[in-house]
Every structure is written in C-alpha cells, then in structure tokens.
C-alpha cells in the first residue's frame, strides 16, 4: 500500500505564505522567487523560463515517458486605466471576474518606484450622500474607482486628501500600474478556508505538500515527474510555454465550482470529465478514478462548461499529451472564495499515489508509433454498426430520395 500521508500543517503554512504574496498576472516575480525557494528547501531541482514559469523535476527510474503536474501562480487583479481629475483611479480587471466582487476590496497599487494602499469603491459609495442611488447604480468596472490612502499638503501647509490628477502624478502613479487585491484569508478551526486567490494558490500548496510527502517517504518514482508552476493562466496562456516534448501526460490542479447542477464539492477531489475546451483524456481520467477507488480517496466527477485551465492552453499550443483536471471545490470562485482542508488533502493524496504509479501507457514514450499497441476504449464490437453490411443487416437497404 502506498503511503499517502499528507502534512496538512505544512500545506496550510505554504498556502498562507503564498496568499501573502501579491501576484496578479504580469506581476509574479516575487511569488516565483518564493516557490523557487521552497523547491530549494525540499531539494527539488528546477529551471525557470524567460518570464518565470517554473519547471521542477522529481527524478524517476526512467526519464520517459515524462509526466507533469501543473498549477498556476498568477491571480486575478487590476490595472490603472486612468488618472481621474478628482484624484482617484479608474481601473480595468486582469483576468475575468465581476466588479461586484471588487467593491470594497482593499488593494495595493504598485507604481514604478513605490506602493500605495487604497480601496476599490463604487462611484456612489455613501448612502448618506446618494440615498437609494447606491443600490441602483449598475454593476460595472466603469462604475468603480480607487481611493488611495495618501495625502498632499496645500499652500497653507494643511494636509488634504488627493483631489486632482496632478496629485496622483506627483505620487508617481501612471496608467498601467498593477493593482493587487488583498486576499483577506481566514482559516477556521473546522477546516474551512476563506480567502481571495485560493484559485490557484491552494493548488500550488497541494502540489508542494504531495512532493514533500513523497520525499519524506523515500519512494522511488517510476518515471520523471515535472512540477510546473505557470504565471499567466488567468489570461489564457498558462502551460503553453513550459512543457517539453517528452511529457506524455499532464494533470492540472485548479479550482472547481460547487453550485446547482455542478457535482463539485469542497470535500474530496473532483475529477473533471470535460471543460469548455472539450473532454479530457479518457484513459488518464479513468486511471485517476481507479486510484481514488483503490486508495479510498473521496472523489466526485464533474463537467465545467464555462471554464478552461492550463490543460487547454497546453494542448492548444500544439502539445500532443494526455491531459486531466483535478479540482478542489471553491465556492464563489473568482470572488471571495471558500474551500475546505479535506478537499485539499484529498487532492494531495491523489497526487502522491498517482506519481508513484506507472504511466498510463509506456508506448507514450514515443511521439509516433504503430497501431499494434495503441489502446482501445472498452466497448462491445456489436454495440453499434461499423460497416455498411452491419447497417443493412440492422436497418435494411438504404432508400432512394423521392
């Protein structure tokens, strides 16, 4: 029996550490250094791409067919769109998320030389001033602005809040400055974890916890396993530029969405059958299901119709690989999110047993091969007609059109 014990305290420690580091897409250098430092502590060799995606390698008995596990370091965020004449900032989102969840968020604005704290507010933010209009103004990014916690001194030496575009310029604020949204994490004694940016920092934490478990057990992996940490998933490119040709199968770790008509749960691992990019690999998905059954890991299946992940970007970039998606349930995804430690632990356990199992198909070490050892999905030969003779036997001769 494979030892899949997970150090949940380590998992939570890493998660809290990652949540404390701002990393909106495009502003990820700091978190890349943090994860690189953790890989060094674990003794796992790694390389960085030009822009900072991480490819770590846990060596196996043989080097191919490689497998990979991927999560993304980047999060949602925003950019300064305009310096307003009232001394506030117009903003646009990074990634796809509703302005409804931005209202009231505390933020940090990173200029070229400094950082500034502030709050995202609707244009009509005070009921004492606008009355019921605060409830009727449209939900839109165009109806939001950032109020910075900065002051200026007027000609009489009095301290005043920012009130002009020139005040912002003197602070060094520019169009295109990055805005990081505070995560506001809270971990409850009953295992619930509430925070922004659990997507996908919780996924990163599960991968590192699984790697730690394998290293401490002294297990030998059957094949090389790459731990991939991407930096642009929230804007669609994700794993498109961090793979190499030997990788035959890849599992993405990301958030799932508990909701009506969704089977995802905050408890246990959710195995995605398909997302908006189409079905995941038949054989790899069913290997994961079999491992859950064999090792008593709670799981459920789900399909995500309005969702894409690192797996989609890897395939769309031309990589001929088998892909799958494992998710931890995140209620209110891309908002103020919630998951549970039990779900994260289940994902980490499944990764531990997956990495210690042989590849789905050894033939995948070669990019091209014959049909002699190509797999077959289980289906009875007679379950549907394969030939014209079968069609005639079942349905009669085709009729001419009148």
Active site residues: 233
Contacts of 332 (CB under 8 A, 6+ apart): 101, 338
From residue 108, alpha-carbon distances to 20, 22, 53, 78, 248 in Å are 12, 9, 24, 10, 41
- Show the tokens assigned to 230: 């991407």
Q: Which two tokens stand for residue 45?
A: 């060799």
Distance CA 197, CA 23 (A): 9
Q: At what angle do helices 8-19 and 29-42 cross, to 10 degrees?
A: 160
- Indicate the pairing of strand 60-72 with strand 247-256: parallel
Q: Which among 299, 305, 301 has a CA at the least distance from the CA of 268?
A: 299
CB atoms within 10 A of CB 36: 17
The residues facing 77 across adjacent strands are 94
Element (H, E) at 198: helix 198-217
Residues in contact with 276: Cβ distance below 8 Å, sequence separation at least 6, in sequence order: 304, 305, 306, 307, 308, 312
Strand 106-110 with 178-181, pairing? antiparallel
**Residue 230: alpha-carbon gap to chain centroid:** 9
């Amino acid at each position: 029996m494979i030892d899949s014990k997970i150090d949940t305290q380590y998992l939570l420690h890493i998660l809290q550490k990652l949540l404390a580091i701002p990393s909106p897409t495009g502003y990820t250098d700091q978190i890349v250094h943090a994860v690189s430092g953790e890989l060094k502590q674990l003794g796992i060799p790694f390389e960085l791409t030009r822009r900072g995606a991480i490819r770590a390698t846990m060596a196996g008995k043989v080097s191919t067919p490689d497998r990979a596990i991927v999560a993304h370091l980047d999060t949602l965020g925003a950019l300064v769109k305009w310096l307003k004449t009232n001394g506030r900032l117009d903003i646009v989102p990074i990634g796809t998320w509703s302005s409804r969840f931005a209202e009231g968020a505390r933020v940090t604005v990173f200029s070229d030389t400094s950082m500034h704290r502030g709050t995202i507010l609707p244009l009509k933010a005070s009921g004492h001033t606008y009355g019921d209009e605060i409830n009727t103004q449209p939900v839109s990014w165009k109806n939001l602005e950032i109020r910075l916690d900065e002051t200026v001194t007027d000609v009489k030496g009095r301290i005043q809040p920012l009130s002009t575009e020139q005040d912002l310029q003197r602070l060094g604020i520019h169009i295109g400055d990055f805005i990081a949204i505070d995560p506001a994490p809270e971990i409850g004694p009953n295992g619930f974890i509430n925070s922004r940016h659990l997507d996908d920092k919780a996924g990163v934490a599960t991968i590192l916890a699984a790697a730690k478990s394998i290293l401490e057990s002294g297990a030998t992996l059957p094949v090389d396993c790459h731990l991939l940490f991407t930096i642009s998933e929230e804007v669609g490119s994700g794993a498109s530029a961090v793979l190499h040709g030997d990788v035959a199968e890849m599992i993405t770790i990301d958030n799932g969405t508990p909701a009506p008509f969704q089977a995802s749960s905050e408890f246990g691992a959710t195995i995605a059958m398909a997302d908006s990019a189409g079905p995941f690999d038949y054989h790899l998905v069913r290997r994961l299901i079999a491992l859950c059954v064999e090792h008593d890991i709670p799981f459920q299946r789900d399909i995500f119709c309005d969702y894409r992940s690192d797996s989609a970007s890897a395939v769309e970039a031309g990589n001929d690989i088998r892909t799958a998606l494992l998710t931890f349930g995140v209620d209110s995804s891309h908002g103020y999110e919630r998951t549970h430690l039990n779900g994260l632990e289940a994902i980490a356990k499944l990764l531990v047993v997956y990495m210690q199992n042989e590849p789905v198909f050894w033939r995948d070490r070669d990019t091209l091969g014959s049909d002699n050892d190509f797999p077959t999905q289980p289906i009875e030969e007679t379950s549907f007609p394969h030939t014209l003779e079968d069609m005639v036997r079942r349905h009669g001769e085709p009729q001419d059109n009148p």
